[in-house]
Structure 1
């Protein structure tokens, strides 16, 4: 149990207060949540919800005598597991997407979905909403989406499904329809799969995602049941880079580079001492080509928003 407490304490320091971690051994908590008191748990509560948003049973598995590790290795493994779990589940109920949490939401490598709501009419200031400058209807719509997040999580609990879903909103950086008094007509909502670099802006029947709980829930359920393939995010080159840099390809590229190095070494044997492989004068065709070729042009830039290509079409229903 000491290793578990040290692992949680170490992880908590790394979040710098963005996720508050409390410790308790009260039997009342075990009884109220109907948990066996013989185990330790990590519980996530979001915004005054009485039911835990997520739960992780902690156990110090020593393994078999042949696989038993030292205290330091076990401590490191526990710390990594706890850190990954807290990173996935510690996003607020409906967080504003900004530079501080964009990595945790979209680039953490975790297998999860992100419901991204682009709201017009909201003026954010110092991590808070300026209610005087914001459209009251936009603020009310944001609060409504927060209720959808709670309803969907309750549905997951009822179906014993544990697919992590982050609900986030942003008020800038995305191409939105022309502003209007009704935020539903000038805002957009999509579902993002960061791990597979895909996004979903339509329901299973092809209708554009709308600001209705049934529209969002049916889309999430279709994704959960693998009935929607979605659309690829980013440019062709970025998708190619994502594919090539996947962990399963790292060993392949290492083997290829090793073979190339061996071929270069065997096809170009070392020259005896005193000989030179450089000619006294550079070749004229090379000089002519290097002086006449135009300067390389810069590749076209693509504006990106939190890792998503800005040419992603976002339309309101």
Structure 2
């Protein structure tokens, strides 16, 4: 007879989940009434209170892009379908643009420094040249005028008096420098009668240029002529009386150009004016060297020529 199978062991009962602990104020609450059938109803699980919803995120207003980026964006839009430039390359491009301004300012500063240095060197060289050469302006003196021929016309009361004149002027110059020479260009000379009511112009004549060597004398001479110069009767009477007594005064003006030569170095020529007041007539038969000499004033650029010595 076959052996009987041993009985299977009983299946273990599944462990019940632990009951949730009642809240701290559960003891104060009254217990729910027991059901009529004698079975206990399991208490519902504890529910956590619902949390308040988080506040909505604040959306900050977007700042408008800078004007430069706006213009660049509108002037140079990216190609369609092309990739945008990376941020590092954009910053490098901005750095290069800023560096161009710095290099321009640096170049301007260097140019200004070089100009100031050249000016200082030029001034220093001019001072040294002045101390070495000691240049002095030449002096001019007007000799008594000769020949002088005046002729008054229109002695009748109906005609106004007129004047015919021929006047020769000669100015002597002395160069006191030992290493500096002067060059005079062509110009013109004018002669006028000196009178209390106003000078009376007698005409002009061209003046030839000449070279004035160091430690030497030179002369500027010309002859001015005028025909039919109308004058007042009172002026004509004074001129007639002074001419007979050889006391008529004259004014001589010479406009020319002058340049300086130091060895092989030559400068440009600038305008110069020679003004001689108080010119007198030479005595009869005395020649050009007779009589006193009147000093002339030299005006360089319309400014009176003066000496620092």
TM-score when normalising by structure 1: 0.19
* Structure with greater proportional strand content: 2
TM-score under structure 2 normalisation?
0.19
Greater Cα radius of gyration, structure 1 or 2: 2
**Structure with higher helix content:** 1
